[in-house]
Structure 1
């Protein structure tokens, strides 16, 4: 989340009136993230989030927006896109495709304990099951094909040890993806970016998942691995936190037990999750876009996480 496109108060006021959401009280840019332009949009009727999509196209966006609506109507606490009088949930602001969703209650838990990890694990499993009957298809756009395309672009910007690690891990992940065990993994819509700052809590109560704009159809195990790599590690070192991880996995399996293939490939998918975000952070760090509010993430963080996942494979108890 950042501000690449400046939205004026009159433009926000017109949008609110089009959506019949009341009169503008405040429009405030959201700092953080690196993909889209985001504003907190407050009216006399409630609080909303306005997103202008800077990379995703109008053809790609219905998958994300209708997935959020599908999940919201299935009882999963996610933002519900606001429709105009014609029922349209994809809008245009400043010439960019845009959406307005309700603002979730609570705040992000950036120092999670086992209880928070368990809440995320259980809700993630519920979300996966709720998405089984979602009828739109779109691949994870930051999946293996994107890794294969992007690694050659970032290699010239990093040192020889990092190049060797990146090449070796990419080769390993291509090998895993060609295996029968990988083909057997259950699949469906995934969030694919469910970090600490994309979940809301009030105390120990989970109040919502948000920022679904990296979602796609992928393996559910990859989605779980992405969560384990953020929620259940020591951030400075990337070292695995076993109690938090066990709490998340136990809560997930209480809703949807993992299959034999998933249990076998959990170590590989934990490495895949680390690789995906190392590549994307390298790309964003060395090939940034201009924005009025933008702080690229440190790519070395996920290099450390990947090294930890290779040296100490993540296995189920």
Structure 2
């Protein structure tokens, strides 16, 4: 359930009074989502989404709302945040931030068809095309995926767990990070970083909205492309099989809408490995250091090798 904090009708009506959205009528919690509290609110003017951030700072939320406003101004299909009567997108209730968003119609599809997949790939490329010219504010208040962030978070996790296994896993991860080659000239921008089906809305078989920019951050634009490849070209049930033909089709479709530079093609291998190492941080307690899921994935990519990986996908 997405309802982490319960709100009375009087509380919601009081919050709505800070906006020019007319009279509160009723509210229904959303069942999708696992981190923040999301409630659909109906007023005499229309329907809206109240999002209460359980674990984000005001600046982190402002990073999100300002970027969404920028995307909306560039006709990208995403929910627009509303300013309150005081000119701010972000309000505070019981010391936690919240935002009122535009309600977007559509359905969440667990198993999108090929046409729906292509639409998501296209919209991802468009997002990056828009993002590359955007100067983010409060960038330091987001976890921006990088070698440095991955190392810092892993060190914190190892210290918190404080076992011989966690210390050995940290040593392995730090050694793998040293092998990555991510030049400063790699194109960067805002990536969404979480294309879970619950964050995408389709309406009449058409892509209608990309939701939940809670994990969005300033990183290599390739990162979202890796997320797409990981979603549809990696066989999670067998650990060690990347469908190169499927991955290549995703890249070809993406490149129709944003052409990859030569340096991006050359270093997709490194960004893919970085994404796996960041996943390792999220699940740092999982598995023995001698054999765990992320290590098997890294070992598999190393068996393919940088050169063959490049040739299979781009030659």
Q: Calculate the TM-score normalised by the size of structure 2.
A: 0.81
CA distance in 2, matches of 1:306, 1:9: 50
Q: Which residue of 2 aligns with 1:29?
A: 29
Distance 1:132 1:142 in 2: 15
Measure, in 2, the Cα distance between the counterparts of 1:302 and 1:3.
31
Q: Using the alignment, how far apart are the partners of 1:312 and 1:73 within structure 2? A: 43
Alpha-carbon distance in 2 for matches of 1:109, 1:235: 19
| Aligned match of 2:289 | none
Matches within 5 A, 1:186-205: 186-205=187-206
2:263 pairs with 1:261: yes
CA distance in 1, matches of 2:300, 2:107: 29
* Contact 2:155–2:170 (Cα < 8 Å) also in 1: no
Match in the other structure for 1:291 = none
**Alignment partner of 1:218 is 2:219:** yes
| Contact 1:29–1:38 under 8 Å retained in 2 | yes
Higher normalized contact order (CA 8 Å, seq sep 6+, divided by chain length): 1
Give the match for residue 122 of structure 1. Answer: 122
User: Paired residue for 1:295?
Assistant: none
Alignment length, in residue pairs?
299
CA distance in 2, matches of 1:7, 1:270: 41
Q: Deviation of residue 73 (structure 1)? A: 1.0
**Residues 39 and 240 from structure 1, CA distance in 2 versus in 1: closer, same or farther, beyond 3 angstroms?**
farther
1:21/1:106 CA distance change after superposition, 3 Å: same
Work out the CA distance in 2 between the residues paired with 1:146 and 1:53: 22
1:168 match:
172
- Structure 1: stretches of 5+ with no match in the other structure: 286-299
Please report the RMSD computed on the Cα atoms of aligned residues, expressed in angstroms. 3.1
Q: Assess if the C-alpha contact under 8 Å between 1:79 and 1:210 holds in 2.
A: yes
Alignment match, 2:58: 58
Kept after mapping to 2: 8 A contact 1:278/1:302: yes
Q: CA deviation at 1:212?
A: 0.9
Distance in 1 separating the partners of 2:129 and 2:253 = 14
Q: Are the equivalent residues in 2 in contact too, given 1:117–1:247 (CA < 8 A)? A: no
Cα distance per residue 1:119-150 (max 9 Å; x no partner): 12211111111123323241551523332233
Report SS of the residue matched to 2:281: helix
Instruction: Describe the SS at the equivalent of 1:83.
Output: coil
User: 1:279: Cα distance to partner?
Assistant: 1.9
Of the two, which has the highest radius of gyration?
A: 2
CA distance in 2 between counterparts of 1:195 and 1:59 reads 25
Alignment match, 1:147: 150
How far apart are the structure 2 equivalents of 1:25 and 1:68? 27
TM-score (norm 1): 0.80
Q: 1:1-317 counterparts in 2 under 5 A?
A: 2-137=2-137, 138=139, 140-143=142-145, 144-155=147-158, 156=161, 160=165, 167-176=171-180, 179=181, 181-237=182-238, 239-242=241-244, 244-282=246-284, 309-312=301-304, 315=310, 316-317=313-314
Q: Pick closer, same or farther for the CA change 1:131–1:226 going to 2, 3 Å.
A: same
